[in-house]
A and B are shown apart, each in its own frame.
Chain A
Amino acid sequence: MLFHSIRGVPAIDPEKCMGCGACASKCPTDSLTLHRTRDSILLELNVARCIRCAYCAEACPNNAITIEDKYTVIGRSREELAIRVIVPLARCDSCGEPLRHSAREVELAREKVPDLNVIKLCDKCKVKRVLAR
């Protein structure tokens, strides 16, 4: 069940979110946006824009979004109404540079497909390793 009594503000669980952006691409109003910084992914929810459609909750592969019973939100500025989740990126095993995927995505991939040999290397280190062979 996506909601209990009324459809309220979506809540994002920062422990579960892996910054995949599935919710942001489904959101019809652009309330959810994904920003990339050098070492993390920032998922921002603008509650004032949200129409409580619950598409994001349906789309999330990790069930990180739940629809709360709270409908009205009050704040003095748009900034106060924003909900932000910062997801750190995975790092290269050899040089420590941030990769394109988040750490949680890599974890989840390992969990889901145990025999997959996930290589956590940045592009440069991959090239180096191939050349060294």
Chain B
Amino acid sequence: MIDRLRECGLRDFTYIDDETVTTCVRPEELSQILRCLILRAGLHFSTCVGVDVRGLGEQGIEIYYIVSGKKLRLLLRTSVAPSEKIEVPLDLPCTYWCLHEARDLVGLNLRNEVYTYRFVLPDSYPRSVCPLRKDYQYSERPLTKCVQEMPTRPEKAITLFPHIPYFYEHEDFIVYVDVDKIVDFEYRGFYNHRGIEKVGETRLKADQVPFIAERICGICGYTHSCAYCQAVESALRIDIPESARLTRTLLLEVERIESHLLWLAILCYMINLRDLFLKLMRCREHVMSMGEILTGNRKMYGINVIGGVRDFITSERIEKAARLFSELKTQCTKLLQELKSSERLRAATRGVGTLSREDALITGAVGPVARASGIDYDVRKYLPYAAYSQVSFSIPVYSEGDVYSRALVRIDETLESIDIIDQVLGMSRALLEKPHRSEYEWLPCRVGVGMTEAPRGEDVHFIITGHDLRLYRWRVRAPTYANLPSLWKSLIGEKLEHANLIIASIDPCLACTDRLVVVDTGLGKVRKITRLVEVREA
């Protein structure tokens, strides 16, 4: 792998941990190197992070590009002088969002901008304020005024599903249609900036952040706290005990089943399989109970700490959970087989919203969306974390790229997860072994990356440690953020009646994208989206 990196013109690698290497590049070479890494070497572009390094005694801004491949995670580091401009590589849509985010949050200057309006901040935020710069206090509230920055097009607009102010979160999916064919698509989200990264960098201590990280998403929160803890563990080189690894694996898989069952249930609801919807939701209820038995909470397990997990899991709890799980397993497997063989599912979703492999690569799609398009990228196999190297499982991959394959990927994955939980519960002796956490010493100015495979795809947390148990920088790249750009490719050319289904098929999570601390419950999630589709007639 390192040879392939050399071919792309990279030199002087430094190892952060066994799998993470970092190297410095000059800003003007960046686009060329990224093109080579993604298009030629076949690596996956995870995200980029803008850091205001003035607090570290340097000048300007640093950008870290995170690129990952098999058993290797590459961190490209670029220093940008205050007046220098960074080029957006127009042929790589996967880089658009994070570069514009760096522009809005830390004040990076961009050449050939794709979005001229404020992108990850609400329109009313003043232009001069970059909330993640170090000279901006977290308690400051900028003066806002109502403006609309996103340019409106002259077409006649029909709002199909109006924005309902009852919801905290709001995003617009704007589709341009010609009779009933979708010809263009625009997305505007990020209306609600809560600054959770800023809170983590200023108000909270590093050992309190796992709780806030867990509240980024109401459905797959645990994966965020795992990714955060892994980031710190990689930065400080903490080796976590075996029992903690197994506990994390167990709970991550419980969460995956729970999340996939929710998505499958909602899919059934959308294609009018109401009885299966109810059955799947009932099954999901038992999965939530498993979390409750093991950790005391149905969601927000609150069990992760830096260096391991807390001593919550006892032998009685494991026994009780195993008993529940053996009942649940047969029921759940039967339901999933029923859904898989359903004619209705095939008829309603086959050939809808096709995303080709090439498009998935350049838009940086992750998780089930990528795996339905023939990319076998799964962090659990590529960069094993927790105890995934000790359990055996396979990664379902389909090549059609339509909504049907995304459903099949999720069904197969749920079955695999059931198998993994079985294996982990079988190792209950190792699971109970004490201690559950390792001690660590806090060291400043270390860089760390933590990645997990969330139910929706790869989840990235990036940290730079500061002094006194504080973080200097914390960046979260949640999976929906990486999956939304693929909608440009899969929506255009489709029929309008399928728009809802295609948008729902990436399992969009508003909390993921906006990084809000909002608990998103059951049904609300996808129905919310269907109400927010706006249609403009060409």
In the bound complex, CA of A26 to CA of B207 (Å): 9
The answer to whether the Cβ of B312 comes within 8 Å of any Cβ in the partner chain is: yes
The answer to whether the Cβ of A94 comes within 8 Å of any Cβ in the partner chain is: no
Closest A residue to B209 using CB positions = A28
In the bound complex, CA of A55 to CA of B295 (Å): 14
Known contacts A6-B296, A7-B302, A52-B297; is-contact A1 B314 (Cβ 8 Å): yes
Q: A28–B296 contact, CB under 8 A?
A: no
Q: For the complex formed, measure the closest distance between the CB of A67 and the CB atoms of chain B, giving whole angstroms.
A: 8
The answer to whether the Cβ of B292 comes within 8 Å of any Cβ in the partner chain is: yes
Q: Residues of B contacting A6 with CB < 8 Å?
A: 292, 296-297
Q: B296–A51 contact, CB under 8 A?
A: no
Known contacts A6-B292, A51-B302; is-contact A28 B314 (Cβ 8 Å): no
The answer to whether the Cβ of B204 comes within 8 Å of any Cβ in the partner chain is: yes
The answer to whether the Cβ of A118 comes within 8 Å of any Cβ in the partner chain is: no
Query: CB within 8 Å of B: which of A48-64?
Result: 51-55, 58
Q: For the complex formed, measure the closest distance between the CB of B191 and the CB atoms of chain A, giving whole angstroms.
A: 25
Closest A residue to B203 using CB positions = A30
Question: Which of A3, A29, A55, A58 is within 8 Å of B296, CB to CB?
Answer: A3
Closest B residue to A69 using CB positions = B296
Chain A: interface residue total (CB-CB under 8 A): 16
The answer to whether the Cβ of A108 comes within 8 Å of any Cβ in the partner chain is: no
In terms of DSSP, what is the predominant structure of the interface of chain A? loop
Query: CB within 8 Å of B: which of A1-30?
Result: 1-3, 5-7, 26, 28-29
In the bound complex, CA of A35 to CA of B448 (Å): 38
The answer to whether the Cβ of B212 comes within 8 Å of any Cβ in the partner chain is: yes
Q: A53–B296 contact, CB under 8 A?
A: no
In the bound complex, CA of A54 to CA of B312 (Å): 11
Q: Residues of B contacting A52 with CB < 8 Å?
A: 296-297, 302
Q: Residues of A contacting B302 with CB < 8 Å?
A: 7, 51-54
In the bound complex, CA of A54 to CA of B215 (Å): 16
Q: Residues of A contacting B292 with CB < 8 Å?
A: 5-6
Q: B208–A7 contact, CB under 8 A?
A: no
Q: B297–A7 contact, CB under 8 A?
A: yes
In the bound complex, CA of A26 to CA of B205 (Å): 9
Closest A residue to B293 using CB positions = A5
The answer to whether the Cβ of B211 comes within 8 Å of any Cβ in the partner chain is: yes
The answer to whether the Cβ of B300 comes within 8 Å of any Cβ in the partner chain is: yes
In the bound complex, CA of A127 to CA of B346 (Å): 88
Q: B312–A28 contact, CB under 8 A?
A: no
Known contacts A28-B204, A52-B302; is-contact A5 B296 (Cβ 8 Å): yes
Query: CB within 8 Å of A: which of B278-335?
Result: 292, 295-297, 300, 302, 310-312, 314
Query: CB within 8 Å of A: which of B161-218?
Result: 204, 208, 211-212, 215
In the bound complex, CA of A5 to CA of B291 (Å): 11
Q: Residues of B contacting A55 with CB < 8 Å?
A: 208
Q: B211–A53 contact, CB under 8 A?
A: yes
In the bound complex, CA of A99 to CA of B197 (Å): 41
Encoded as 1 (CB less than 8 Å from any B CB) or 0, chain A from 55 to 90 comes to 100100000000100000000000000000000000
Q: Residues of B contacting A29 with CB < 8 Å?
A: 211
Known: A6-B292, A6-B297. 17 other contacts (CB 8 A): A2-B312, A6-B296, A7-B295, A7-B296, A7-B297, A7-B302, A28-B208, A28-B211, A51-B211, A51-B215, A51-B302, A52-B296, A52-B297, A53-B302, A54-B302, A58-B310, A67-B296
Question: What residues of chain A have their CB less than 8 Å away from a CB belonging to chain B?
Answer: 1-3, 5-7, 26, 28-29, 51-55, 58, 67
**Nearest 4 A/B pairs, CB to CB:** A7-B296, A28-B208, A53-B302, A28-B211
Name 29 A/B residue pairs within 8 A (Cβ), A-sorted: A1-B314, A2-B296, A2-B311, A2-B312, A3-B296, A3-B312, A5-B296, A6-B296, A6-B297, A7-B295, A7-B297, A7-B302, A26-B208, A28-B208, A28-B211, A28-B212, A29-B211, A51-B211, A51-B215, A51-B300, A51-B302, A52-B296, A52-B297, A52-B302, A53-B211, A53-B302, A54-B302, A55-B208, A67-B296
